[in-house]
Amino acid sequence: TALKTSYSNQIYNISTNIQTELSDVIDELGKITGKRNQICYLPQKQGDIDHSCLDNLKAQEFLQWQPVYDLHDGLISLLEASRA
């Protein structure tokens, strides 16, 4: 496994390499749970990050890791695990 390699004391981004808006995550959670959430947008604060997308190339190269979940399936898995 990844923890048993010589690369174990490194930092790796574990992601899909797909930029996802927070509003998309909230919408997808609403579809999965059947609950609709109203998003309240507030003015941006100094230091807020406009856009962010993790690059998982290092994990792919050194750990031979690949994402197996898309957003929908990952959220379902997370919700199921939190209910267990």
What is the SS3 assignment for 13-57? CCCCCCCCCHHHHHHHHHHHHCCCCCCCCCCCCCCCCCCCCCCCH
Bigger pLDDT: 6 vs 36: 36
Mean pLDDT of 46-60: 94
Q: What percent of the chain has pLDDT over 70?
A: 93
Q: Of 39, 27, 37, which is closest to residue 75 (Cα–Cα)? A: 27
pLDDT, average across residues 22-40: 92
pLDDT value at 73 more than 80:
yes
Q: Which residue has the tokens 């998309």?
A: 24
What would the mean pLDDT of 67-75 be, rounded to a whole number? 95
Question: Mean pLDDT throughout 41-54?
Answer: 93
